Amino acid sequence: MMKKLTKVISTAVAVASIALLAACGKSTAKAATTDKTIKIGILQQINQTALDDARKGFVAELAKHGYKEGKNLKLDYLNAQGDQSNLKTMSQRLAKDKNTLNLAIATSAAQSMQQADSKTPLLFTAITDPKSAGLATNLKHPDKNATGVTDMVNVAGQIKLLKKLVPKAKTVGLLYNAAEANSVMQIKLAKTALKAQGLKVVTKTVASTNDVSQTTQVLAKQVDAIYVPADNTVAAAMATVGKVSVATKTPVVAAASTMVQAGGTATNGISYKELGRQTAKMALKIIKGKTPKQLAVESPDKVSVVVNRNMMKKLNIPVSRVK
């Protein structure tokens, strides 16, 4: 009986040892895929909440999959602060670094990065129209070294939301920076949607954040509500837009959820952190051997109604109107 027991124990130990060795083998294999240091250059166009969130989401998703700074990931983050000359200089620097891939956040950053380096895999995020920006001729089958995730949301849907928000509105103001290609494209779509709703349009442009306060005040006096596209200049001054909105009782529908949180009233928009995470998932595919030409440009995975309840309350607008 003792011999049988000893034999059973020996067999169990042997099986356990084999299982342990197999597990170690799997662990080692997994580690091998992440031990090599991955170098990623990040070029951000300007300091702006949505763009910051996209970057944070990107880094967080990489960490979730085992790529962490100081361990097996080296990030070279550069911010041009909205300066075109900075974009050019920073793009050229990243081009010389021989990174595994580069990430460009916002249109001008992506255009500058692609001009400086047409070979290194380039991912872009927080870009509305990659095709008109010249980043890819075919979004389903990218033909250059770039692909990524757009932040394009149905503008007509946002205008319908504005109509629900302010059902008695007759005139709607459009506020944007005409130098931003993304904004110009969204404004065209907004004008078409507004006309389809039988609404009049008043357009005002700004060249910098310094223009936002006065221009918004002038515009608010001429309209019943304001629509703002995913414009980096206006987004950086949304707190100012919010103050004017409350003072003049003029609701503001902004294309990006972060713009609503900073001073807008409501939108049918996206989370830029989620956009960054979605872009990181594409980065993981490139790290594992895919090329940008093998990855179609993606649209946001999630779109939802975002409401600034505090602003709604100050403007005496019931939340039920946007549900």
Domain membership of residue 319 (yes or no) is no
Q: Are residues 139 and 183 in the same domain?
A: no
Q: Which two tokens stand for residue 59?
A: 């880094």
Q: Are residues 121 and 218 in the same domain?
A: no
Domain membership of residue 53 (yes or no) is yes
Q: Are residues 45 and 123 in the same domain?
A: yes
Q: Are residues 190 and 47 in the same domain?
A: no
Q: Are residues 159 and 147 in the same domain?
A: no
Q: How many domains does the chain have?
A: 2
Domain membership of residue 317 (yes or no) is no
Domain membership of residue 276 (yes or no) is yes
Q: What residue ranges in 135-221 does DSSP mark as E strands?
A: 146-150, 171-176, 200-205
Domain membership of residue 312 (yes or no) is no
Q: Are residues 137 and 280 in the same domain?
A: yes
Q: Is 171 helix (H, G, I), strand (E, B) or coil?
A: strand
For 135, 175, 215, 271, 301, the CA distances from 252, given in Å and listed in that order, are 31, 10, 14, 18, 25
- Each residue's pLDDT, cut to its tens digit, for the chain (323 residues) gives 434 434 444 444 444 444 444 444 443 334 334 568 999 999 999 999 999 999 999 999 999 999 999 999 999 999 999 899 999 999 999 999 999 999 999 999 999 999 999 999 999 999 999 999 999 999 999 999 999 999 998 999 999 999 999 999 999 999 999 999 889 999 999 999 999 999 999 999 999 999 999 999 999 999 999 999 999 999 999 999 999 999 999 999 999 999 999 999 999 989 999 999 999 999 999 999 999 999 999 999 988 999 999 999 999 999 999 87
**Confidence (pLDDT) at 19:** 43
**Confidence (pLDDT) at 322:** 85
Q: Are residues 42 and 72 in the same domain?
A: yes
Task: Identify the domain containing residue 53 by its residue range.
Answer: 37-151+271-302
d(CA 75, CA 60): 13
d(CA 250, CA 123): 38
Question: pTM for this structure?
Answer: 0.79
**Confidence (pLDDT) at 317:** 96
Q: Are residues 219 and 286 in the same domain?
A: no
Domain membership of residue 22 (yes or no) is no
pLDDT in tens, 28-75: 334 334 568 999 999 999 999 999 999 999 999 999 999 999 999 999
Q: Are residues 85 and 43 in the same domain?
A: yes
Q: Are residues 143 and 47 in the same domain?
A: yes
Q: Which two tokens stand for residue 9?
A: 């124990």
**Confidence (pLDDT) at 311:** 97
The CATH number linked to 134 is 3.40.50.2300
Per-position DSSP letters for 265-318, written without gaps between them: -EEEE--HHHHHHHHHHHHHHHHTT--GGGS--B--S--EEEE-HHHHHHTT--
Domain membership of residue 321 (yes or no) is no
Cβ-based neighbours of 271, under 8 Å, separated by 6 or more: 53, 57, 257, 302
pLDDT in tens, 83-98: 999 999 999 999 999 9
Structure-derived torsion over alpha carbons of residues 63, 257, 203, 171, reported in degrees to the nearest 10: 170
Domain membership of residue 29 (yes or no) is no
Q: Are residues 164 and 204 in the same domain?
A: yes
Q: Which two tokens stand for residue 287?
A: 């790290």
Q: Are residues 147 and 167 in the same domain?
A: no
